[in-house]
Structure 1
């Protein structure tokens, strides 16, 4: 045990230092949705809260392939940087921005199309009307969101994650401020109600994109990667490489996000009180999940760097340290969910005992799937560092769409377990994904081609 600690202590420290700013930045992103829901729930009530939650879930679903897929760029940047290939880093950055532009057009358009067909989800007339207008504004915000995600990959891949952290935290403050000013209309600001919350998200994301690009192009620490000679270099190959990895990698993220988004729809069929309760519980679970994705991103960067250095041992240690760090954190989250579920729910809503009771029971189930959620997302990040995206996509498709969603429906309606049945189905899918993705990573480590720096399939 002592030998293990001596060996892995530097690995834990490095993973932790890299993870913390990424975790804070990721937490800032999800806390924007939490902030929206806190203001909407407190100022407007349960029905607008359910509508905002549904629109947020489906909008993020539309962007999930882009958001999840673009994260492969950080691992590629880390690999090229470890090989001292400055020109490749520049091409990857520019290629990532082009892919972000393409994704914005595709997924923004799909989001608008979905908004105009909200009736397909079988929600009540009031929820449908509110959610449609909310989602149209969120659709416009996908463009700056994906530009920000693409730009931050350069900073993260070069191990400067504090840049995105500072910008995201600043945007979070702006989002809270604009929610307050625009929902009720304070001073010269118009009273926009629920749409004020959506507008706050749009303005915050615009700030994030502009601030990230401005910092990258003006900071001296990135100057070496923007030599004027690089401007004439074609990025066609990089765009193809990013798309080749980003599409299946993004689909992996999509399958999980889609599962939770469609779970919102299933819960909505059970009633507005269940929908509001589910939204509260899923917000809490999303906070811990997004923090685990920060550890996952650190794993991808460290594994990618080790591949660039042709170090099999480095790949193994980077993966193990990330797994153990995620397990430690998610264990603490599980204890909090199980022991303080009622208090956590009270942060969102106080005047609806029925919703509070349902939400508190869902948070307990959420406590049980914390470990599975953390392990599966870190396994995905470690595999992303190996540029291994195809088989993980199949694993997640099976775990979430073949197991989790059908089981959620059957438990909720056939066995009449209500909203808790939906969450038990989600727990089953996450656990299955965690097992198979972890096995996949450790098998891949033994098949690294250190000469070509690739994975033997």
Structure 2
């Protein structure tokens, strides 16, 4: 639940990126501050809607037949995560702003600096240390809350030092902010829904895989963990493509726009080939190192070999699709890609995966064939949209 809510909020906040990139390109400091203010208004709106949903989750999840005692035990952790949404959405806002300003290294450094703090917080608050009592799972939630808040404070300080305020109460326009917020939401909400569609299909696949045999579950787990690492590459290309296209749009530079499209698609294809080759070449080695020599382990290793190759194929497909999605975001074209994600993953991928598992008995292999097919449909539709729609620049 937390993951779905968070990704919806993070995707919605991504709607500010093309506007902020345009302001950076024009060196418009006042517009940048206005957009940051709009970003905080959006964070407030999202937090108001999502925090209660997670906070009261143990109460309303009982209606789904979950064990009441288990829900009660996790209540402290759930409520800590609910509060964590507030600083985490703020962190996402500054990640979006820094990426749009082509300063992603700042966010990377802050994130890396927080990793040991998070590990220390988990150890102290979960297990107890000195006068600090052991809080168990609730301690992990509290640690996440503290680290997220610290990250946000650091990012706010960095942002304020980098761009001292130039706005006063007399030159702010609340009505302009409201209109700007609506414009951001029109771009951002479809991104949020598309993000949930993409993340949700993998969450659903994992829940379904848990109903299969032990070997299928183990093979799926290895493949999913590997996918989490591999997915970082197309996601980074998506962000870079969006920023460069938004810059070309703001300059109304047709030549730059065409160059961004060509370079983004070529780079995504080359990286896709490299990832496919890496996964296909190391699949046997990974499977052998991950599983033991038991009967279940041997079966899981054999399944994982095919799944990792399928993952490589999926990553090859998703590369151009992610680049296309980023380029379309740079044009503020997000509604059609949202529909493509829903159709590809949920109208094609999910039914196909279920058919292969339930009717053909393909197990985890059927799940990943469905995921690959859904990704292929989404990519084809996104590329058709990108190459078939005339850019707004001239």
TM range (shorter): 0.7 to 0.9
- Native 8 Å contact 1:62 1:108 kept in 2: no
Distance change (3 Å), C-alpha of 1:431 and 1:87: same
Give the C-alpha shift of residue 106 in structure 1.
1.6
For 1:106 and 1:207, the matched residues in 2 are separated by: 23
For 1:164, which of 91, 95, 107 is the aligned residue? Answer: 107
1:219-230 to structure 2, matched below 5 A, reads 219=161, 221-223=162-164, 226-228=166-168
- Native 8 Å contact 1:121 1:265 kept in 2: no
User: Which residue is equivalent to 2:342?
Assistant: 397
Distance change (3 Å), C-alpha of 1:94 and 1:195: same
2:230 equivalent to 1:288: yes
Can you give the 5+ residue segments of structure 2 that lack an aligned partner in the other structure? none
- Native 8 Å contact 1:266 1:409 kept in 2: no
User: Which residue is equivalent to 2:245?
Assistant: 303
2:51 equivalent to 1:108: yes
For 1:279 and 1:116, the matched residues in 2 are separated by: 30
For 1:437, which of 376, 382, 393 is the aligned residue? Answer: 382
Q: SS in structure 2 opposite 1:159?
A: coil
Structure with higher Rg: it is 2
| 1:59-104 superposed Cα distances (whole Å, 9 cap, x missing partner) | 2112222111211212211112223332221111110111012112
User: Which residue is equivalent to 2:22?
Assistant: 79
Distance change (3 Å), C-alpha of 1:372 and 1:180: farther
| 1:344-377 superposed Cα distances (whole Å, 9 cap, x missing partner) | 4688787987366355553332122111222222
Give the C-alpha shift of residue 177 in structure 1.
3.5
Q: Which moved more, 1:87-96 or 1:316-325?
A: 316-325
TM-score of the aligned structures, taking structure 1 as reference length:
0.75
| 1:211-239 superposed Cα distances (whole Å, 9 cap, x missing partner) | 2112111x2x322x644468633311211
2:223 equivalent to 1:252: no
2:61 equivalent to 1:61: no
- Native 8 Å contact 2:125 2:135 kept in 1: yes
User: Which residue is equivalent to 2:121?
Assistant: 178
Distance change (3 Å), C-alpha of 1:364 and 1:141: farther
Give the C-alpha shift of residue 290 in structure 1.
2.7
| 1:273-296 superposed Cα distances (whole Å, 9 cap, x missing partner) | 755653442232122213321221
How much is the aligned-residue C-alpha RMSD, in angstroms?
3.2
Greater relative contact order structure (CA < 8 Å, 6+ sep): 1
Q: SS in structure 1 opposite 2:10?
A: helix
Give the C-alpha shift of residue 182 in structure 1.
4.7
For 2:218 and 2:82, the matched residues in 1 are separated by: 22
For 2:392, which of 413, 424, 448 is the aligned residue? Answer: 448
User: Which residue is equivalent to 2:312?
Assistant: 367
2:189 equivalent to 1:265: no
For 1:81 and 1:383, the matched residues in 2 are separated by: 19
- Native 8 Å contact 2:15 2:189 kept in 1: no
Give the C-alpha shift of residue 109 in structure 1.
2.9
| 1:18-58 superposed Cα distances (whole Å, 9 cap, x missing partner) | xxxxxxxxxxxxxxxxxxxxxxxxxxxxxxxxxxxxxxxx4
TM-score of the aligned structures, taking structure 2 as reference length:
0.86
- Native 8 Å contact 1:400 1:430 kept in 2: yes
1:39-438 to structure 2, matched below 5 A, reads 58-118=1-61, 135-185=78-128, 190-217=133-160, 219=161, 221-223=162-164, 226-228=166-168, 232-234=172-174, 235-270=177-212, 274-275=216-217, 277-341=219-283, 343-344=285-286, 354=296, 357=301, 359=304, 361-438=306-383
- Native 8 Å contact 1:365 1:424 kept in 2: yes
For 1:413 and 1:126, the matched residues in 2 are separated by: 33
- Native 8 Å contact 1:115 1:136 kept in 2: no
Q: SS in structure 1 opposite 2:332?
A: coil
Give the C-alpha shift of residue 259 in structure 1.
1.3
For 2:68 and 2:169, the matched residues in 1 are separated by: 58
Distance change (3 Å), C-alpha of 1:128 and 1:242: same
For 1:86 and 1:179, the matched residues in 2 are separated by: 40
- Native 8 Å contact 1:61 1:261 kept in 2: no
| 1:414-456 superposed Cα distances (whole Å, 9 cap, x missing partner) | 2111122111111100111111101211223x34254xxxxxx
